[in-house]
A and B are shown apart, each in its own frame.
Chain A
């Protein structure tokens, strides 16, 4: 890879990909791929020094932190979930008007006695006394969930890391409660889950990030300016 090239990371699939491509198109940055749509490497028409890499949203954050990407469009939630040494190497340039979602704490709807994190704490204590084990919270966001619960004094729990379909965890018995990202709340509702009254962990949206590693690349400043217009 030519070290003078500017590398932009965008999400490889889903709604975030479409929104990001629209944003680039509006800025007259047309992405094209030499080997068809499934090829995960693109270019910008008329800008031979810019490369577009289609990556997983989490991967974009990682690659920004090591300087393989100069610009990345990904979720705010993923930046905040990443380790502190990763966060330190990334600038948040602009919050974009799409990709809105909330990270929330949810319980099965039968838990009618659970209104707030205070209830969760009490139930977690009772659970530990009764079952001699800690209550499990399934999530793809262990760091954010942990610090949110610590701040509210909830400590009697263990995190079970989820790799997908977190909403299923309370149903199949791999976790008692979950924290998950939701935009409309429909998936949670469909899976008979409800959000605690004070269970909003983080408000997230898509953002433009830049790496702090190679910030002096030629043309980078102008490109960032154009994207964040």
Chain B
């Protein structure tokens, strides 16, 4: 029965010219550690082989598939799908093993067309399932980046807010700092200025813990010369909080967003290209937009489109398919060549 169900998904993917690939069950731990430093380590089932190389059971199928593509010499567009389990310690006490069917488009040349294809395929898979009531929730990380870059706050604060968007808990901590305290502690700075005067007279090439005096002094000067004003911090935090509350039907999203940007005079205009979907009339499916979709989940590698297709199971909405665009996963997080990519994963425990 189960395999028959999977076959339905497989057939849809094959008809859309996705090619089946096998993924290695283990990956070199260094790829995960490069991606998230220590962050992901706590989830890994790791072990050493006889050569002392640290290996891990794959904690995520997308990572395995994109490593496979990035290590190949190909630059051609590739549409692939795969199935298998991902293994994570304490990811969720019930789900140490996550079973998925994943689909990806690598070296995607036309972002909009490929994003649309992933969404369309996801909707076809939904149709093949036994669920009737569903909702497709779409967001776009680029909107948040656009907003932050228009705010009157120092560049380092822009980078911090963009970096920690996905980490909901820490992000609200950052907003508190942004709206209240000043960046710089005047007492500490007075002490540091003495050291600064001393250091500036010494050899600027001298290295302290991997950083030259020149680098340290440059960063110190930029902090002192570009302090954040508490008023602009407060205003920016208010705008961000209000932005992150925006939730509406997908149809109304461009209007509501444009009104919001106009209200704060941010000079940003949103058109329907941000949402790669045309047919918003599917029976029993709601199409929604949210600026906060994906926050609190471990999806920090999404850099643009992000979506979640949820179905009503026993009077509760559960996730059936989720995905998004991750153009920077390989280059920024894994230290490999850049691979523009978009994909999605079917959560098999909710498909059956």
> Is A152 part of the binding interface, using a Cβ–Cβ cutoff of 8 Å?
yes
C-alpha spacing A147/B130, complex, angstroms:
42
> Is B219 part of the binding interface, using a Cβ–Cβ cutoff of 8 Å?
yes
Which residues on the A side are within 8 Å of B163 (C-beta)? 153
Q: Are B216 and A149 in contact (CB under 8 A)?
A: no
Q: Are B38 and A108 in contact (CB under 8 A)?
A: no
Q: Are A176 and B160 in contact (CB under 8 A)?
A: no
Q: Are A112 and B208 in contact (CB under 8 A)?
A: no
Which residues on the A side are within 8 Å of B210 (C-beta)? 127, 130-131, 135, 176
Which residues on the A side are within 8 Å of B167 (C-beta)? 153
> Is B195 part of the binding interface, using a Cβ–Cβ cutoff of 8 Å?
yes
A 112-146 to B, binary, CB cutoff 8 A, 1 in contact else 0: 11010010011110111011101100000000001
B 160-171 to A, binary, CB cutoff 8 A, 1 in contact else 0: 100110010110
A110 with B199, Cβ < 8 A, contacts A156-B37, A176-B209 known: yes
Q: Are B38 and A146 in contact (CB under 8 A)?
A: yes
> Is B220 part of the binding interface, using a Cβ–Cβ cutoff of 8 Å?
yes
Q: Are A150 and B164 in contact (CB under 8 A)?
A: no
Q: Are B160 and A118 in contact (CB under 8 A)?
A: yes
**B interface, size bucket:** 35 or more
> Is B242 part of the binding interface, using a Cβ–Cβ cutoff of 8 Å?
no
Q: Are A122 and B209 in contact (CB under 8 A)?
A: no
| Interface SS of A by simple majority | mixed
- Which residues of A, 79-108, contact B by the 8 Å Cβ criterion? 107-108
Q: Are A111 and B216 in contact (CB under 8 A)?
A: yes
| Total A residues in contact with B, Cβ cutoff 8 Å | 37
Q: Which listed residue, A113, A132, A156, touches B216 by the CB 8 Å rule?
A: A113
C-alpha spacing A121/B185, complex, angstroms:
18
Which residues on the B side are within 8 Å of A150 (C-beta)? 38-39, 42
Closest B residue by C-beta to A145: B38
Q: Which listed residue, A112, A131, A170, touches B192 by the CB 8 Å rule?
A: A112
C-alpha spacing A131/B192, complex, angstroms:
26
> Is B18 part of the binding interface, using a Cβ–Cβ cutoff of 8 Å?
no
In the assembled complex, how far is the CB of residue B169 from the closest CB belonging to chain A, in whole angstroms? 8
C-alpha spacing A36/B216, complex, angstroms:
55
Closest B residue by C-beta to A107: B209
C-alpha spacing A109/B219, complex, angstroms:
15
On B, residues with C-beta under 8 Å from A are: 33, 36-39, 42, 156, 159-160, 163-164, 167, 169-170, 173-174, 177, 183-185, 188, 192, 195-196, 199, 208-211, 213, 215-217, 219-220, 223, 335
